[in-house]
């Protein structure tokens, strides 16, 4: 008998910031929005999430520090003259290495800030382990008994909806390596958890647009999840009973808030040729106040150590060098204060905002998307007044809904999802899924290069046998129709299924452009004494969940094999 969940704990592993939140079952039953989350501190910064930055000791295995502490610790190491910091592994904003990768190797390396490679699984799992243990320590302090059993906790790990199946599996395996039991772990899609939580919030918890709790069945709205690394967009319809149905496949791109930070980095390089931790922490505070109607200059403090480094190495006065850049008429340096015109700061947002607006406009050409009544803006970058203004003015006929603490709703929604995972009823397939099979060779329609010889005669290899199509709406936890397959020879003792995804609607061969092999599933044929023609194996897939499940049934013996597709080879 399964252990009853006493607590749901969620981890939001973000590109820029990460955090955790939790609620006990009895708290959720009383008030589903009562969710505890930690406050993080770094210098002047106080936030509900911490920078996704990790420092690992020179052995490449031992965790040292995370977040603001890791930033400060590495800065201190780097300030020493002995270059000791070059032996340590320092990773920041590394989650983006998983973005867009259909074929992902579980043994892939990533490089730290000084280009030293380390196994990616090690880096991700050390961060998840730290967040898990940090949360458990906090939970323990709140319990009168001081203890909760591991099996009484349901863990939820959030991932972008636009991620590939391989990236989702990579995160699951990293979490298991971090000490979370596989059976106790749920993967949640970020825009969905945000949507789930915002529908619980009263009007007074919204910055703009009113509440969503009054949305009637049939209401259609867009979720614009603007995070640090990616913009993740889905379209939801409210069904009777309050469940959500995804109407358009998740889409988006790498246009998050880090593009603004990168633009700022390039701006600093053009002025100073170096950057410092304090400058970026100062910018992170100032960035949140930059707004279209605010024309005040922005003041950034330049650390004296940076000024000294620049002048020692270049032989130039920093103030004079600043006046020789293309920003000479828009910036000024007095003492340690860099004064920047508002127009320059606003321009840093251009690429990220223009890419987002253009993508939403393109989506609006779809008949389904045109029917939306509202856009729900969530994620940390949605707190930017610049992005809010751009969306509001670009789509004047659509209600814009912005919750209070937009950067936290994904994390809190993940907790709600853990308590009630059936909140979503349908999702839309991002790809066409199918398996590779052989069929009798037909010289009139098959490529001669695909012809192979079998006991039963000539066959055509690599046929894409489609199960679901890109853009198709599938109901969660409902299996596709079973399809039967026969072994291709009398001696065959197992039937192997190669599972493929394609960006095409109806590919003919699994080798066509846009097709990628996802993984394998093998079914043993227990009864080998009967002829090949009587050894049918029936195969079905279950889509719609955050992970794909497969079921293979041997007709003669009734033997059933269930598995999660292995997307990492």
Would you give per-residue pLDDT tens digits along the chain (569 residues)?
A: 346 888 999 999 988 889 999 999 999 999 998 999 988 876 666 678 888 999 999 999 999 999 989 988 988 888 777 778 889 999 988 887 877 555 678 888 999 988 899 999 999 999 999 999 999 988 887 776 557 888 899 999 999 888 888 888 899 999 999 999 998 999 998 888 988 888 888 766 676 666 676 678 888 999 998 877 678 888 998 888 778 888 888 887 766 555 666 665 665 555 544 444 666 667 767 777 888 888 888 887 776 666 776 676 667 777 777 777 777 888 888 877 888 898 888 888 888 889 999 999 999 999 889 889 899 999 888 888 999 999 999 999 999 999 888 888 999 999 999 998 877 888 888 889 998 988 999 999 999 999 999 877 899 999 999 999 998 888 877 777 788 877 766 676 777 788 898 999 999 999 999 998 887 777 666 566 677 777 788 888 887 566 777 888 888 777 787 766 677 75
- Following CA atoms 26, 27, 28, 29 in sequence, which dihedral angle do they give, to the nearest 10 degrees? 50
CA distances for 468 relative to 460, 465, 479, 499, 506, angstroms: 22, 10, 11, 12, 10
Q: Kindly state whether residues 36 and 167 are assigned to the same domain.
A: yes
Whether 195 maps to a domain, the answer reads yes
Say what the pTM is. 0.79
Q: Verify that 496 and 418 share a domain, yes or no.
A: no
271 and 155, same structural domain? no
Token output for 195: 């949507």
The answer to whether residues 50 and 175 belong to one domain is yes
How many other C-beta atoms are found inside a 10 Å radius of the C-beta of residue 346? 17
Among all chains, which residue has been given the structure tokens 């949640």? 188
How far is 499 from 522, CA to CA, in rounded Å? 11
Last residue of a domain, one of 390, 424, 458: 424
The phi and psi torsions of 476 (rounded to 5 degrees) equal: -65, 140
CATH number at residue 18: 3.30.420.40
Asked if residue 458 and residue 554 are part of one domain, the reply reads: yes
Q: Distance between CA atoms of 386 and 288, rounded to whole angstroms?
A: 9
Compute the residue count for the chain.
569
> What are the tokens at 382?
């949605």
C-alpha 434/C-alpha 497 separation (Å) is 10
- Answer yes or no: is 378 within a domain: no
**Structural domains of the chain, count:** 3
Question: Running DSSP on this structure, what letter comes out for residue 243?
Answer: -
Residue spans of beta strands (DSSP E) within 414-559: 424-428, 432-440, 451-454, 457-468, 473-475, 483-485, 494-502, 515-524, 537-542, 549-554
Q: What pLDDT is recorded for position 9?
A: 95
**Burial class of residue 30, CB neighbours in 10 A (0-12, 13-18, 19+):** exposed
Question: Which residue, chain included where needed, has tokens 């002025």?
Answer: 271
Based on the fold, state whether residues 184 and 45 are members of the same structural domain.
yes
- Nearest-angstrom CA–CA distance, 170 and 104: 8
CB 129 within 8 A of CB 178: yes
Task: Answer whether residue 234 is part of any domain.
Answer: no
- Asked if 326 and 420 sit in the same domain, the reply is no
| Statement to judge: residues 190 and 271 lie in one domain | no
Do 447 and 420 have their domain in common?
no
482 within some domain: yes
| Phi, psi at 441, each rounded to 5° | -70, 130
DSSP state of 151: G
What distance in Å separates the CA atoms of residue 360 and residue 376, rounded to the nearest whole number?
A: 13
Q: Supply 90's token pair.
A: 């320092």
User: Are 263 and 194 in the same domain?
Assistant: no
Together in a domain, 482 and 418: no
* Of 475, 482, 480, 481, nearest in space to 544 by CA: 475
83: left (phi over 0), alpha (psi -120 to 50) or beta: left
CA distance 383 to 48: 14
Q: Which run of H or E residues covers position 111?
A: strand 109-111
Residue 353 lies in a domain: no
Burial of 171 (0-12, 13-18, 19+ CB in 10 A): buried
**443 is in which domain, residue-wise?**
429-564
Residue 236 falls within a domain, yes or no?
no
What is the distance between the alpha carbons of residues 397 and 391, in angstroms, rounded to a whole number?
Answer: 11
Query: What residues contact residue 326 under an 8 Å CB cut-off, 6+ apart?
Result: 270
Q: Does residue 387 fall inside a structural domain?
A: no
Residue 238 within any structural domain of the chain: no
**Shortest CA distance to 235 belongs to which of 424, 467, 449?**
424
Give the whole-angstrom CA distance, residue 130 versus residue 140: 15
Q: Please tell me whether residues 338 and 439 are part of one structural domain.
A: no
Q: What is the pLDDT of residue 1?
A: 34
Q: To 10 degrees, the CA torsion angle through 44, 48, 52, 57?
A: 70
| Of residues 367, 427, 360, the one with CA closest to residue 391 | 360
- The pLDDT assigned to 398 comes to 93
What CATH number has the domain bearing residue 466? 2.60.34.10
C-alpha gyration radius of the chain: 27
Task: Collect contacts of 293-301 with beta carbons under 8 A, ≥24 apart.
Answer: 294/342, 294/385, 295/342, 296/342, 297/339, 297/340, 297/341, 297/342, 298/339, 298/340, 298/342, 298/345, 299/337, 299/338, 299/339, 299/340, 300/337, 300/338, 300/340, 301/336, 301/337, 301/338
> Is 435:500 a contact under the CB 8 Å cutoff?
yes
| Residue 69 CB neighbour total at 10 angstroms | 17
User: Reduced to 3 states, what is the DSSP secondary structure of residue 266?
Assistant: helix
Q: State which of 368, 403, 424 marks the end of a domain.
A: 424
The tokens for 381 are 């970058």
Residue 313: is it exposed, middle or buried by C-beta count within 10 angstroms (0-12/13-18/19+)? Answer: exposed
- Would you call 161 exposed, middle or buried from its count of C-beta atoms within 10 A (0-12, 13-18, 19+)? buried
Q: Which of 313, 347, 381 lies at the terminal end of a domain, its last residue?
A: 347
Longest distance between any two alpha carbons in the chain, whole Å: 89
Whole-number Å distance between alpha carbons of 240 and 217? 5
pLDDT at res. 114: 86
CB-CB contact of 475 with 244 (8 Å)? no
Cβ-based neighbour number of residue 542 at 10 Å: 18
């Amino acid at each position: 008998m399964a252990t009853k969940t006493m607590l749901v704990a969620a981890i939001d592993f973000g590109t820029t910031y990460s955090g955790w939140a939790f609620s006990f079952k009895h708290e959720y039953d009383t008030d589903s929005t009562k969710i505890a989350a930690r406050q993080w501190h770094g210098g002047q910064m106080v936030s509900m999430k911490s920078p996704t930055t990790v420092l690992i000791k020179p052995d490449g295995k031992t965790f040292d520090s995370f977040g603001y502490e890791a930033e400060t610790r590495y800065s201190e190491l780097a300030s020493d003259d002995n270059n000791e910091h070059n032996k340590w592994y320092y990773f920041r904003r590394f989650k983006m290495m998983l973005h867009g990768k259909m074929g992902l190797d579980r043994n892939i390396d990533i490089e730290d800030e000084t280009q030293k490679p380390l196994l990616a699984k090690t880096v991700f799992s050390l961060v998840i382990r730290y967040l898990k243990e940090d949360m458990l320590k906090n939970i323990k302090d709140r319990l009168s008994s001081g203890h909760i059993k591991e099996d009484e906790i349901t863990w939820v790990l959030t991932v972008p909806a636009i991620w590939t199946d391989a990236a989702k599996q990579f995160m699951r395996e990293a979490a298991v390596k971090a000490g979370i039991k596989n059976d106790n772990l749920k993967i949640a899609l970020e825009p969905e958890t945000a949507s789930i939580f915002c529908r619980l919030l009263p009007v007074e918890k919204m910055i703009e647009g009113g509440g969503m709790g009054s949305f009637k069945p049939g209401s259609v709205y867009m979720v614009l999840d603007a995070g640090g690394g990616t913009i993740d967009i889905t379209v939801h319809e409210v069904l009777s009973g309050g469940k959500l149905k995804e109407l358009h496949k998740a889409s988006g791109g790498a246009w998050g808030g880090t593009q603004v930070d990168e633009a700022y980095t390039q701006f600093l390089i053009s002025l100073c040729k170096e950057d410092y931790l304090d400058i970026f922490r100062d910018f992170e505070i100032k960035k949140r106040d930059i707004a279209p109607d605010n024309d005040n200059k922005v003041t950034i403090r330049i650390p004296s150590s940076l000024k000294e480094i620049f002048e020692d190495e270049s032989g130039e006065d920093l103030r004079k060098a600043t006046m020789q850049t293309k920003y000479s008429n828009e910036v000024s340096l007095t003492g340690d204060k860099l004064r920047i015109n508002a127009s320059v700061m606003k321009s840093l947002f251009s690429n990220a905002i223009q890419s987002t607006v253009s993508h939403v406009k393109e989506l609006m050409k779809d008949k389904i998307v045109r029917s939306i009544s509202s856009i729900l803006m969530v994620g940390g970058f949605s707190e930017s007044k610049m992005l809010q203004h751009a969306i509001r003015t670009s789509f004047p006929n659509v209600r814009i809904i912005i919750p209070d603490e937009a950067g936290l709703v994904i994390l809190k929604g993940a907790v709600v999802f853990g308590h009630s995972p059936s909140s979503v009823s349908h999702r839309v397939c991002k790809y066409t899924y199918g398996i590779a099979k052989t069929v009798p060779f037909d010289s009139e329609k098959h490529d001669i290069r695909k012809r192979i010889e079998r006991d039963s005669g000539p066959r055509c290899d690599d046929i894409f046998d489609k199960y679901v199509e890109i853009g198709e709406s599938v109901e969660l936890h409902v299996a596709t129709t079973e399809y039967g397959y026969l072994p291709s020879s009398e001696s065959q003792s197992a039937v192997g299924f190669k599972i493929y995804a394609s960006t095409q609607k109806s590919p003919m061969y699994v080798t066509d452009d846009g097709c990628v092999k996802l993984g394998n599933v093998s079914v043993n044929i227990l009864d080998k004494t009967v002829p090949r023609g009587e050894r049918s194996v029936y195969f079905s897939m279950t889509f719609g969940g955050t992970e794909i499940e497969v079921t293979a049934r041997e007709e003669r013996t009734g033997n059933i094999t269930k598995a999660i597709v292995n997307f990492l080879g």
